[in-house]
């Protein structure tokens, strides 16, 4: 990883409840510079490129069932589908996609760290 002033900016994006805050917190503890990208709330499909300008983009995917149970959301499936639609551009351009339905937070972190260590070394 580069020194602090030149370290790459890692954007983390995904639907509500996918684990963005958890992953960012753990990556920052390890010295990575991260940005939480709230693309799921924007109608501008490429907002993540305009505002955050990350060097690398990690997309965390999550099902409707897991999103609503993790965040105690009072949603209907259409709400989650809308977030997925708003996230489609970021997903298509992501450097890494992790399906958080399949892994716990430690495993998600391990996947991200492996990718970042390989990519940035």
| In the chain, where the domains are located | 4-120
Half-sphere exposure of residue 104: CA atoms within 13 angstroms, side-chain side = 1
What is the band of 67 on the pLDDT scale with cuts at 50, 70, 90?
confident
Across the chain, mean pLDDT equals 88
* Residue 96, SS3 per DSSP: strand
Mean pLDDT of 43-66: 85
Q: Are 10 and 116 in contact (CB under 8 A)?
A: yes
Fold classified for 4-120: Rossmann fold (3.40.50)
Query: Looking at the predicted structure, is the pLDDT value of residue 26 above 80?
Result: yes
């Amino acid at each position: 990883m580069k020194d602090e002033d030149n370290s790459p900016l890692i954007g983390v994006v995904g639907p509500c409840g996918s684990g963005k805050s958890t992953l960012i917190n753990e990556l920052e503890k390890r010295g990575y510079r991260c940005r939480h990208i709230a693309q799921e709330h924007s109608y501008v499909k490429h907002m993540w490129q305009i505002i955050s300008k990350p060097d690398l983009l990690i997309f965390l995917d999550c099902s409707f069932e897991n999103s609503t149970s993790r965040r105690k959301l009072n949603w209907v499936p259409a709400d989650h589908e809308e977030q997925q639609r708003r996230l489609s551009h970021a997903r298509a351009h992501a450097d890494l996609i992790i399906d958080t339905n399949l892994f716990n937070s430690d495993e998600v972190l391990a996947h991200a760290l492996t990718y970042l260590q390989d990519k940035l070394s």
